[in-house]
Amino acid sequence: MREYTKLYIDGAWREPEQGTVLELTDPATGEVSGRVALGGEADVNRAVAAARRAFVSYSRTSREERIALLERIADEYERRADDMVEAVTAELGCPRALSRGMHFAAGLIQFRAAAEVLKTFEFVSQRGATQVRKEPIGVAALITPWNFPALQPAGKTASALAAGCTVVLKPAQLAPYSSIVLAEIMEAAGVPAGVFNLVNGRGSVIGNALSSHPDVDVVSFTGSADAALQVSTAAAKTSKRVATELGGKSPQVILPDADLNVAVDTALTWLMGNTGQICSAPSRTLVPRERLEEFLEVLVPRVESLKIGDPREDGTHMGPLISAEQWQTVQHYIQEGLDAGATLVTGGPGKPDGLDSGHFVKPTVFTRVTNDMTIAQEEIFGPVMSVITYDSVEEAVGIANDTRYGLAGYVTGTDLDAARDVASRIQAGYVIINDAEFDWTAPWGGYKESGNGREWGPDGMNEYLETKVVLGS
């Protein structure tokens, strides 16, 4: 069992000044997997003070010094691959293959990519006699979600450190193991004391204390819209910058000429993958009415062939949901779909046969869904597909945009010009055509109620920079 009873503050593992110890359970078994210290406001104050002190010198480091630091972190991150994979599997219930191939790999990419961005980033530009400078904004509070517990802390931390900011990280209460491994990586890589700090705890305590703290200059938050409102309200007292990445109800528009195997590949990767716990999941699948039966003939056998079970067992495609609460939430939405008159094609309520322990759920597909149904409008965060038929591409685009969210979109079609045209009309921050390979360094963020910031690459680094004008230079 894992025992993490200290917080990483000012370059050392320290006993919390206040708070409790939380027992965490394995999502696949329900058994206790570890004990983690939860800090309090006094611990936030210590961490922010350490970060503020460290910022004085770290913000003045050279480009070359920060590149070297990021490269050391990346090397150590890669060395700790097995530990990070095991941490993600233990806290999230993610199959080992996915923990390695997506979660760990994407986290590693962030540090490698940040070092590359830093090599050519333009911190100073000259406009005649006017000099425009980009300077580190200060202490960054990073608040991350449980569904990508390796990637999110890595991506935010890499961009902040590249910019010259110091960091206080608050990982999700349900998934702190990989962030603790990250803190160990930082220590082993020689990150100066106070530059990176880790305070585990409840969002209502640690998140609020960080967001309202007068010595925190920027908050980067990924999570729910309700929690983002609390963060933004607390941050408004000191007019600090807040960058958010929130939920989604992303459409997959399958065009009339689409290769249905590619369309199903997209759904299995981004909706059924990670047990549907993906904010950009294409949970609304828009299919030409005349191709619905053909689509289901391709989709359903592949969904029903997914191996669900022990995430530590080779060949498992889908593990459990992270918690009993999340399991109940997904069950609620499945019942909502049935009550609204949607047709259940496969899956449904309850646990898969033989999986009574753990938080396992059946991958579920509904047809005869209309876009005004609850299952088509609210984020479920589980492997539940709502199939909506359309009669024209114009209608499909309208349905795709008929949501308060705008995080991602997916388009499948053989005619690339037509697919690109539809992609250009979807109101979302990230659109994937024909299951194209994901780019973990492209700017990530959403439109509308899906957030107001961008992460990764130079755009992500800009969130941690302030603009200064110097005249007469």
> What's the Cα-to-Cα distance from 293 to each of 265, 290, 351, 449, 450, rounded to whole Å?
17, 8, 27, 33, 32
My answer on whether 85 and 107 are in the same domain is yes
Give a yes or no: residue 11 inside a domain.
yes
pTM reported for the whole predicted model: 0.97
pLDDT for 444-468, tens place per residue? Answer: 999 999 999 999 999 999 999 999 9
User: How many domains is the chain partitioned into structurally?
Assistant: 2
Question: Rounded to a whole number, what is the distance in angstroms from the first to the last CA of the chain?
Answer: 60
Give a yes or no: residue 307 inside a domain.
yes
My answer on whether 215 and 359 are in the same domain is no
- Give the H/E segment covering residue 2: strand 2-4
pLDDT at 473: 62
pLDDT for 370-424, tens place per residue? Answer: 999 999 999 999 999 999 999 999 999 999 999 999 999 999 999 999 999 999 9
**CA angle, residues 336, 341, 345, in degrees to nearest 5:** 90
pLDDT for 131-150, tens place per residue? Answer: 999 999 999 999 999 999 99
User: Across the chain, which distance is largest between two alpha carbons, in Å?
Assistant: 74
Give a yes or no: residue 418 inside a domain.
yes
Average pLDDT over residues 106-135: 96
- DSSP three-state, residue 321: coil
pLDDT for 42-61, tens place per residue? Answer: 999 999 999 999 999 999 99
Given 41, 279, 379, 449, the catalytic residue: 279
What CATH number is attached to the domain comprising 390? Answer: 3.40.309.10
Euclidean distance between CA atoms 317 and 323, whole angstroms? 18
Euclidean distance between CA atoms 23 and 350, whole angstroms? 26
Euclidean distance between CA atoms 429 and 221, whole angstroms? 17
My answer on whether 237 and 262 are in the same domain is no
Euclidean distance between CA atoms 289 and 313, whole angstroms? 39
**CA angle, residues 218, 122, 242, in degrees to nearest 5:** 15
My answer on whether 230 and 142 are in the same domain is yes
pLDDT at 19: 81
My answer on whether 6 and 45 are in the same domain is yes
Among 219, 246, 273, identify where a domain stops. 246
The confidence band for 250, taking pLDDT boundaries of 50, 70 and 90, is very high
User: What are the helix (H) ranges across 6-132?
Assistant: 41-58, 63-79, 81-92, 96-98, 105-120
Full domain range(s) for residue 331: 251-447
Give a yes or no: residue 142 inside a domain.
yes
Euclidean distance between CA atoms 460 and 436, whole angstroms? 22
My answer on whether 286 and 185 are in the same domain is no
Based on the residue annotation, tell me whether 290 is a catalytic residue of this protein.
no
Based on the residue annotation, tell me whether 279 is a catalytic residue of this protein.
yes
My answer on whether 266 and 411 are in the same domain is yes
> What's the Cα-to-Cα distance from 52 to each of 91, 163, 211, 213, 248, rounded to whole Å?
31, 15, 15, 12, 35
My answer on whether 205 and 63 are in the same domain is yes
Average pLDDT over residues 4-12: 97
My answer on whether 56 and 174 are in the same domain is yes
Give a yes or no: residue 12 inside a domain.
yes
Above pLDDT 70, what percent of the chain?
100
Give a yes or no: residue 264 inside a domain.
yes
Give a yes or no: residue 9 inside a domain.
yes
My answer on whether 149 and 271 are in the same domain is no
Average pLDDT over residues 235-258: 96
Residue corresponding to tokens 């919390």: 16
Average pLDDT over residues 295-320: 97
What CATH number is attached to the domain comprising 212? Answer: 3.40.605.10
My answer on whether 311 and 368 are in the same domain is yes
Spatial contact of 195 and 123, defined as CB atoms under 8 Å apart: no
Give a yes or no: residue 415 inside a domain.
yes
Letter for the amino acid at 235? A
My answer on whether 337 and 208 are in the same domain is no
Q: What's the chain's average pLDDT?
A: 97
The confidence band for 17, taking pLDDT boundaries of 50, 70 and 90, is very high
Instruction: Give the contacts of 71 (CB within 8 A, at least 6 positions apart).
Output: 111, 112, 115
Given 86, 91, 245, 379, the catalytic residue: 245
φ/ψ of residue 100, rounded to 5? -80, -50
pLDDT for 159-193, tens place per residue? Answer: 999 999 999 999 999 999 999 999 999 999 999 99
